[in-house]
Chain A
Amino acid sequence: MRRTPRDSAESVRKISRRGVMLGGLQLGFAGVLAARMQFMQVEQADEFRLLAEENRINLRLIPPARGQIFDRNGLIIAENAPSYRITIVREDAGDVADVIARLSTLIELDEDELNRALTEMNRSAPFLPITVADRVSWEDISRVAVNAPALPGVTPEVGLSRHYPMTTAFAHVAGYVGPVSERDLARYEDPEPVLRIPRFQIGKVGVEAKYEEILRGRAGAKRVEVNAVGRVMRELDRREGEEGADLQLTIDGRLQDYVRARLGEESASVVVMDLEHGDILAISSSPAYDPNKFVRGISVEDYGMLRDNDHRPLASKTVQDAYPPGSTFKMVTAMAALEAGVIGPEETVWCPGHLEVGGRRFHCWKRAGHGHMNLEASMRESCDVYYYDLALKVGIENIAAMSRRLGLGVAHDLPMSAVTSGLIPDKAWKLRERGSSWVIGDTVNVAIGQGYVLTSPLQQAVMTARLATGRSISPRLVRSIDGVETPSQGGESLDLNENHLRWIRRAMFSVSNNRRGTGYGSRIAEEAFRMAGKSGTSQVRNISAAERARGVINNNDLPWNRRDHGLFVNFAPFDNPKIAVSVVVEHGGGGSSAAAPINRDVTLQALYNGNPPLSAYPSKDHERIKAQQEQLSRERQIPDPDGPSRA
């Protein structure tokens, strides 16, 4: 082996020189590394610390408990009932398919819900609980809990879900809640984060929707530490939210329930208004639906049935439907005429059965004519010609102005969905909307509540209330919010002549209590509670010339959906008015036969605060009313405190 001197001066020097040079470079680079450390860990430390905190700390919202809704006596209308669901945590379950197979032997699992759960499970982190069965019964939950050892990863969970114990009675008033939709989110400029919680529910219809912000409360929040895959390691701190405020409605649940039972399957509306504060004591649209079905997510079949029903259970007829008021409008025409001074109470108009106006003949409902008519007689017998004559004297503008003073043609501020303003036509309106000028015939039609004029059952009640009190009383549906009473809607004086009001009330009294009155059949026998009312019949079909020639066809010969609507309004007791009631029975025929009996029953229920004694009714009705009370007591959810009858 060849050996040469290794320690020659030159080679050592060269290695030394370059070795030192390279060593210097290495140290220099180490200096760069140290500078970088200093930059990141000293200069930028705060920034990075913040990023690290953002990484690990997650803000989780705690959904607030929704406020409850009560009636005026504390009866629960909407509550948060515990609802049970079953969840599976994938990582705890191990063999998910096996666990689900075992679970399905214990309880019934919905195929669709299960498939959705399995998809969700595969997509999300293994430690997140996935709901496999929602709204399971307490028995099912117990069965699962007992078998817990055989079901790893399966947890029965309890949550709160909206429940409406009165089911259909308050469907149109309280409305219902449902999951937040994209459309709901789009309504808000900057939607609260709590709305984005999966399965969070907000009010969709009615009071639930109108008082959403108050009922919802404010979400709490907790800060949790999470790891890189989002698993919660621990809770750092929490800020409790604010529960939603409770609402108390002005409605008397017992009366509301009675009205629901009384209306049955009839397509009808009832509004009962208190005359002191304008409290709505009952507001019922029939038929109704069960709001609980909507909370759960209504099935397509169920929804289809509601939608296609010709009695329109989804519509809140009391506030969103407007009908021609028919003869119930005659008080308005008369009041306008009295205030304008164009007629006195005892002045008479000759009714030959028709009136010629502008070359057209306007008929009275009574072909033979009523003869000489004064205010009281015309109201009592509902003579049309008298009001044609009044309208021609006072003019449409005066009638329209009086209508608005009495609460027609304006949308009342009620927290229900789609409150209509109805329609009170005048010259400007017709020119604007119909493009033609007002003709005298239009005025004649309006005089008896036909033609263009439209009012809702609620407006009818307000009108009656204002006539009964002379004050601009308005409806109030919410009595208190979170224990704080809302202002009374009793209203100021309407500045109507007290004598004029008295004459009108007197005429209405006569409708119900005079032997010749259209409402005499449905009078109240109890002297202290006698009512004053007015019937109305609003035509659904146009009467053809041929029909007119043949005379009026009996309503019962027509198909249901072409029959007239029957209307009746009243206030009671006449001597000391406490309530106003408005009833509309769709396609029920004449107001005095279809609606007035309902007015009487509801009025007595409200005034007696329970089933009235049979003595309150005329003696010929006792048998029928007794049978009716017995039948209704079986259908009512809230039993009458004193049994079916006090008689």
Chain B
Amino acid sequence: MPTKEEVLEKLKNGVIQYDEDACKEGANEAIAIGMDGNEAIFEGLVAGMEEVGRLFEAQEYFVPEILMCADALYAGLDILKPHCKQMDLGVKGAVVIGTVEGDVHDIGKNLVKMMFDVAGFTVYDLGRDVPLDQFVEEQLRTDSELVCLSAMMTTSMIGMPKVIEKIKARNPNVMIMIGGAPTSKELADKWGADGYAEDASNALKEAIKMVSFLKNLRAEKEAEKKG
């Protein structure tokens, strides 16, 4: 039987080296040695994705590599999810996410979705080229706390302020994140969004930051329990 450290290392490296088989193997081993699914996800798969984020920032990895890493992460995640105990992180997470009408670019959106999946959020993925009113209706239907809007084109982002206005008019407490190459902090502020990520790398970075925060929170809770 491998040790816990060996399993975590296998999961982490499986993600970094976009090796789906290694991630599946690591996930099965984690279950076999009785590890908590959350620990294997956060200390193994997410740790790997954190390194991938760093490699992206250093321009050693680009989008095709990240997509391969994401596949490897999901390969492990699918096996581990049924073995996760419910975490009490003080965050009730439900998010509506999609690429706005007129835009079929969904790579950045999918990467952000992946990190929400990892963090245990309930994700309502509307896909791409989503009619603007559908974001408003889905938020109301699901009572999600967060809505993420993505656009990669200067010509399609113009739908964003309309969605933000409609959602905020009905429920001012909903947090709205916008993302995609043509967006900026300035635009997010102007349109009344609560956050932004300019491209897939930044979106991934922001999402990793969020999940890393949860990871630390989890570690603190674990330490409190032990202490």
Chains A and B come from one and the same complex:
no
Hey, which bits of chain B sit against chain A, CB under 8 A? none
Q: Interface of A with B (CB < 8 Å)?
A: none
